[in-house]
Amino acid sequence: MSAHLTIPGAQMAEPATPQLLFVGGAGNATLAVDVVEAAIRQARKRGLRIHVTNQEATLAATPAITALVDETSAVDFEVPGTTAAWARERAAAGDRFDVVFGVREMAQEAVAEAADALGRPGNPPHAVHRVRTKDEARAALSAAGFLQPRFLVCADEAEARDFLAGSTGPWVVKPRDAMGSEGVTRIDGPEDLAAALEFLPEEGRGSFIVEEFVEGPEYSAEGVFVDGVPHVLALTSKELLPPPNFFEVEYVIPAILPEDTAREIERQVVAALTALELRYGQFHVELWWTERGVVLGEVHVRNAGGWIHRMLAHVIPGLEWFGLVFDSVLGNPVDKAALKPVRGSAIRFLTPPKGRLVAVEGWDEVLAHPNLIHAELAIAPGDVIEEHRSVGNRVAHIAVGADTSEEAQALARKLEVSVRFVMEPVQAPVS
């Protein structure tokens, strides 16, 4: 028999409040702030104290986030090693960070480096760098036995033309490191190459990718790592603008797919994430379903954009996507069997034609619809719509929920048609 000895007058030390280091905070956009606000709410529910780091200008531009957290620091996550060095200094001064996390694509390497520096759960920095560099991710997946399109990293037009001559078209020209489908073009022959290179962002023209175009519908897998193991929450189907553009104008969750196809996609995604040495946080994996099976696209160790975080919360009632990451680190139980879609959701992104906006008709009726999850109109009369280049041209969206994916998709499309953009031509300046 053992006895518990209590010393008179002694007091038990209070456990320290666990702290979240939120690297990169929010970008200065409605969606970015909404994502981070959701993550902060879910962190608070788990008793976390929150310290946000971000670039100084963006901290100043996102006061809604600053008001919600305990502390902020100006740290530039885009400068390699800077966040990790700052975290080590804070730890040496007595700070303890129990969870390291971030939602911004460009901050993911800093998240991994800081977690590694602090000895906290995270992805290996080299693994994050690899998936953020498109050609390195392609090469790694191909070496691991996953289907990948043929590609080449090109330094100039001559190298690209040589690749076209030795491969099968059509092809895709895109930057090595970008997001939001910026600068991505499909070309059908060498005669289209010069225009595609001109379409690349200025900083992406010195080193770019040309790869064979993948024929087949596009999907993505949304998920979370629980105890280091990837768990797919749902698959998303996509509709894209027709070539030469590649950004999405519709998502449907869960994807309308045969059950055996969905299972095979999930199996391949889990295997690929494991092969890429990824083990922490959230994931968003893009892919195609082809005659040969799954062809994997880009891999992201963050939540999906495009308001998918809100759509998932509808299709899986009670889901706290960010909270699952914190639960995994804090040792809270996670019932993975309950993380299954039981309803449907869809979103349509509205892309008016080029010109100057005169008026928008039908928007108030959209906002009044009882099935609306979220809607935003980001343009006003007088604004000029430019040529479509990236997701930045998605100037409005309508997200709805329903009992099934099919019902949600039909409703979102119906509401989109009910909105009319009245446009006028933009007069060329007089020289």
Residue 12 has pLDDT above 50, yes or no: no
Structural domain includes residue 128: no
Q: Are residue 267 and residue 352 in the same domain, yes or no?
A: no
pLDDT, tens digit (0-9, with 9 covering 90-100), for 259-297: 999 999 999 999 999 999 999 999 999 999 999 999 999
Residue 179 has pLDDT above 80, yes or no: no
Query: CA nearest 250: which of 34, 357, 400, 91?
Result: 400
pTM: 0.89
What CATH number does residue 106 fall under? 3.40.50.20
If pLDDT is split at 50, 70 and 90, which confidence band does 3 have? very low
pLDDT, tens digit (0-9, with 9 covering 90-100), for 33-61: 999 999 999 999 999 999 999 999 999 99
Q: What is the pLDDT of residue 363?
A: 98
Q: What is the pLDDT of residue 241?
A: 82
If pLDDT is split at 50, 70 and 90, which confidence band does 255 have? very high
If pLDDT is split at 50, 70 and 90, which confidence band does 160 have? very high
Structural domain includes residue 387: yes
> In whole angstroms, what is the distance from residue 322 CA to residue 343 CA?
20
pLDDT, tens digit (0-9, with 9 covering 90-100), for 215-234: 999 999 999 999 999 999 99
Q: Are 401 and 373 in contact (CB under 8 A)?
A: yes
Structural domain includes residue 92: yes
Domain housing 40: 19-120
Residue 308 has pLDDT above 50, yes or no: yes
Structural domain includes residue 143: no
Summary mean pLDDT of the chain: 92
Structural domain includes residue 131: no
Task: Give me the number of domains the chain comprises.
Answer: 4
Q: What is the pLDDT of residue 9?
A: 42
Q: Are residue 102 and residue 55 in the same domain, yes or no?
A: yes
What CATH number does residue 429 fall under? 3.30.470.20
- Distances in Å between the alpha carbon of 335 and those of 218, 231, 324, 339, 394? 29, 11, 10, 7, 36
Q: Are residue 316 and residue 355 in the same domain, yes or no?
A: no
Q: DSSP string covering 337-355, please? A: GG----SEEEEEEE-PPSE
Q: Are residue 337 and residue 351 in the same domain, yes or no?
A: no
Minimum mean pLDDT range among 202-206, 242-246, 300-304, 336-340: 242-246
> In whole angstroms, what is the distance from residue 105 CA to residue 413 CA?
29
Q: What is the pLDDT of residue 2?
A: 35
DSSP helix/strand/coil, 155: coil
Q: Are residue 68 and residue 181 in the same domain, yes or no?
A: no
Structural domain includes residue 2: no
Q: Are residue 331 and residue 349 in the same domain, yes or no?
A: no
Q: What is the pLDDT of residue 244?
A: 64
Residue 15 has pLDDT above 70, yes or no: no
Radius of gyration of the chain (CA): 23
Q: What is the pLDDT of residue 430?
A: 52
Helices 134-143 + 125-132 axis angle, to 10 = 110
pLDDT, tens digit (0-9, with 9 covering 90-100), for 377-414: 999 999 998 876 666 667 899 999 999 999 999 999 99
Minimum mean pLDDT range among 30-34, 157-161, 171-175: 171-175
Q: Are residue 90 and residue 180 in the same domain, yes or no?
A: no
What CATH number does residue 155 fall under? 3.30.1490.20
Q: Are residue 177 and residue 82 in the same domain, yes or no?
A: no
Q: Are 287 and 219 in contact (CB under 8 A)?
A: yes
DSSP helix/strand/coil, 396: strand
The amino acid occupying position 77 is: F
Q: Are residue 295 and residue 362 in the same domain, yes or no?
A: no
Query: CA nearest 250: which of 143, 381, 348?
Result: 348
